[in-house]
Structure 1
Amino acid sequence: YSFNVAASHSDSPTFKIKENAEIEIKGKYTQLNTEGYGGMLCATWFDRPLSIAGRVLIQDDNSYITKLLNIDRDLVLIPNVAIHMNRTVNDGYSYNKQIDMLPLFGGSDTKAGDLKKLVAQELGVNVDDIYGTDLYLYNRMEPSIWGANEEFISSPQLDDLQCAYASLQGFLNGFNNKSINVYACFDNEEVGSGTKQGADSTFLYDVLKRVNNALGKTEEDYYRALASSFMLSADNAHALHPNHPEKTDINNCVYLNEGVVIKSHAGQKYTSDALSIAVFKGLCKQAEVPVQFFANRSDSLGGSTLGNIAMAHVSMNSVDIGLPQLAMHSSYETAGIKDTYY
């Protein structure tokens, strides 16, 4: 037997709220103290409705219970500085995350502790029962389908929820009686994957090993299964930018609505090699899905993804794929309508 693995990631660049959150400004404003999570395009976070979501740990007798939180209303905003006060901003500006990127939470009636009171109210618990939080900002703008022929979609967090969604649909609809289908959605890819729930952990290894043991297989069976297994490392790819075609490789560049992207890198930032590319091309041909090829310009560094990190713990043939998009790591990204279906 073997494993068919489709791996993606769930996180996107944003801002995490610090424990002591409220900052009072001259008794008239209350900001929230945040720090950056991942490499975001800071300019895209200004002047738009934001709110707060995450998890809260509640004490319940002698245990702690996790409650998910989404304050489902426009709650905070990061205001820009007027151009009259920053005349050279359009000539290039270096954003300071401790100064420029703090969201406005309230006016003079807001006091320290009000955020925790709001969280408690949303969850229907007492403030004193809150023992821990992982809270983040998120963009409240609704997704938009647009273009001359309605061929584009813009939305927060397309990287990498677009691949995560498509992979999940494939997992739910697919069946193979010779292999075990595995849907792997890791967290913390945007900050290096080095967490217990990231690709650079034993999580995938542990799950596959436990599956092997539950089937009554031996350790030798497990290693043989890995040797014949295959993984799709699915993370979005940079489409050619219409204003800056020079930013991409001259002929290994990709476009919206023209198919799934196969990503390669000589320095092995991507897992794709001739064998895995051939297998994936064959699958796409059977499914009548077009493929595109992406490589970084040889004189510039590109990003990496979760595939080669996960393969350091669970070695199997793997190909790095993705869907083409514009404005990666913006708070509002753009992709092609057709590519999700592909």
Structure 2
Amino acid sequence: MPEALLPVSATARARAQALLDFIDRSPSPWHAAASAAALLEAAGYTRLDETDAWSLAPGARHYVVRDDSTLAAFRIGQAPLTDSGLRLVGAHTDSPGLRVKPLAGERRGGWLRLGVEVYGGPILATFSDRDLSLAGRVAIRDPAMPFGVTSRLVRIEQPLLRIPNLPIHLNRKVNEDGLRLDRQTGLPPVLSAVEADLPAAETLRRLLTDTLQIPADGLLGFDLNVYDTQPGAFFGPQREFIANSQLDNLGSCHAAVLALLDSDDSAPQASALCFLFDHEEVGSTSAKGADGSFLDDVIGRITNGCGLDDQDRQRVLARSMLVSADMAHAFNPGHPHVYDNDHRVHLNQGPVIKTNASQRYTSDSLSAGAFQLACERAGVPWQHYVQRSDLACGSTIGPMAAARLGLRSVDVGNPMWAMHSARESAGAADHDAMCRALKAFFET
């Protein structure tokens, strides 16, 4: 049986609602970075550009964005970097789902469907019979910009697409065998009836140019995410749970940003960084993923901007620590056989420390102990999760980020149900608990 659950206080409920609102504003990783940037700017953080020289001093508060969907925010503390090191929290802006192909549009039986690719590892069946639409960014012709192209965010708020299920009369064993959607032929969502005089792919292009009010020849391309238009919600007798898309991992992104902003008021001595990476769900090996150069580049720019050399940078990293924040698998009472009995974690019982002997998670006794002390200072409980030894373990940005920088790291996350579903759920009290724990870590 789970221990006593955390109460969903008014503060916790407000924080949970803020998370749901953040997710609803962020139907793609490009929107997630923009939503985080808006929170930072409202708190007085100013944007830096990678093409500019950085000159930094104690008290400086800035953020930088790479390629629209990866963001780093940082605050320079009062103590010299070589004395205090850095307090880093990393999360990721992307979530598993469906991405639209460049020449999307196929005719089948009088219907127009959009060709899609599977991004990451979504539970595909959960995307069927839902009110889906499109969001992301588009590439627009702009002679004034480098290479002649710029980007704009796009979001179509109305339900636009559907992946309709077969009736059970035509799929008699669906309840026994599960719903299986062929990625090439069964997954493309229906957009509309075919217009006889319009090429299939042109329907989507017209939809985008009309939405953005740009000329037809101004659209050069797009990166589009299929998203569920249903907004986030509380559920349960006491509204003690929350449900939304992309809790993995926008829950951690939102907590990291709020913790950074909350810790600003305590005049901290140590410098703090918050990294929100794209492409974690597909391996992180990209120009803006955690296994790319962005992490090293930003830290190098900070140390250089503070007048430190390469040897000083290594001294800074030797005093630093990373918290890799990614959601965790809560015990599901309908499937008890997939959990290690001694390491079950539960909704509304606080942040989870994740451990794996094969280093799929980075936590060890020292880094876990440091996070436990942060939880103690914040007055929140913590839990320990270990995957069953006979099941493969997922991973996070933690191992690759810690390996790149050579620093101590711990993997943590809030417990949730149905990770990688189109509709995930979590505890309404846990988000505030994670925000408080990360704030205490930043203030260490």
Question: Which one-letter code corresponds to 2:249 in the other structure?
Answer: D
How much has 1:177 moved relative to structure 2? 3.9
CA distance in 2, matches of 1:108, 1:146: 40
Distance 1:267 1:326 in 2: 24
Give the partner amino acid of 2:175: N
CA distance in 1, matches of 2:370, 2:422: 35
Q: Distance in 2 between matches of 1:151 and 1:72?
A: 28
Decide which moves more: 255-264 or 128-137.
Answer: 128-137
Residue of structure 2 in register with 1:215 after alignment = 306
Aligned partner of 1:253 in structure 2 is 344
Distance 1:261 1:95 in 2: 33
Q: Which runs of 5+ in 2 are unaligned?
A: 1-80, 434-444
Q: Which residue matches 1:162?
A: 251
1:98 to 184, 188, 209: 184
SS in 1 for 2:302: helix
Matched, 1:49 2:131: yes
CA-CA distance at 1:203 after TM superposition: 0.8
How far 1:61 sits from its partner (Å)? 2.3
One-letter amino acid of the structure 1 residue matched with residue 241 of structure 2: F
CA distance in 2, matches of 1:65, 1:46: 34
Residue of structure 1 equivalent to 2:167: 82
Percent pairwise identity: 38
Separation in structure 2 between the aligned mates of residue 244 and residue 36 of structure 1, nearest angstrom? 26
Give the secondary structure class of the aligned counterpart of 1:105: strand
- In structure 1, stretches of 5+ residues that fail to align are none
Q: Does 2:392 correspond to 1:306?
A: no
| 2:45 aligned residue | none
Q: Which residue of 2 aligns with 1:134?
A: 223
Partner of 1:315: 406
User: Which one has the bigger strand percentage?
Assistant: 1
**Larger mean Cα displacement after TM superposition, 325-334 or 309-318:** 309-318
- The Cα RMSD (Å) is 1.1
Aligned AA (2:135): A
1:89 partner letter: V
Would the aligned equivalents of 2:362 and 2:409 in 1 still touch at CA under 8 Å?
A: yes
CA drift of 1:302 comes to 1.6
1:197-245 Cα shifts (integer Å, max 9, x gaps) = 1111111111001100010012111101001101110000000001011
Contact 1:202 1:313 in 2 (8 A): no
1:109 is displaced (CA, Å) by: 3.2
1:123 aligns with one of 212, 215, 237? 212
Distance 1:19 1:4 in 2: 40
**2:226 aligns to what SS in structure 1?**
strand
Q: Deviations over 1:304-338 (max 9, x none)?
A: 11100112211211100000000000000010000
TM-superposed deviation, 1:15 = 0.6
Q: Which moved more, 1:151-160 or 1:59-68?
A: 59-68
Work out the CA distance in 2 between the residues paired with 1:171 and 1:177.
11
Aligned-residue offset at 1:178: 2.9
2:322–2:402 Cα contact (<8 Å) kept: no
- What is the total number of aligned residue pairs between the two structures? 341
- In structure 2, the partner of 1:71 is 156
What code does the residue aligned with 1:171 have?
L
| CA distances 1:266-287 after superposition (whole Å, capped 9, x unpaired) | 1111110111011111110011
1:108 offset after TM fit, Å? 3.4
Deviations 1:279-300 (A, max 9, x none): 1111100110100000000111
Structure 2 counterpart of 1:170, one-letter code:
A
Match of 2:93 among 10, 14, 21: 10
Aligned residue among 106, 112, 119 for 1:37: 119
Residue 353 of structure 2 aligns with an amino acid whose one-letter code is I
Could you tell me which residue of structure 1 aligns to residue 377 of structure 2?
286
Cα distance in 2 between the residues matched to 1:135 and 1:108: 21
Q: What is the deviation of 1:19?
A: 1.1
1:121 counterpart letter in structure 2: D
Normalized against structure 2, the TM-score is what? 0.75
Q: Determine if contact 1:201/1:313 at 8 Å carries over to the other structure.
A: no
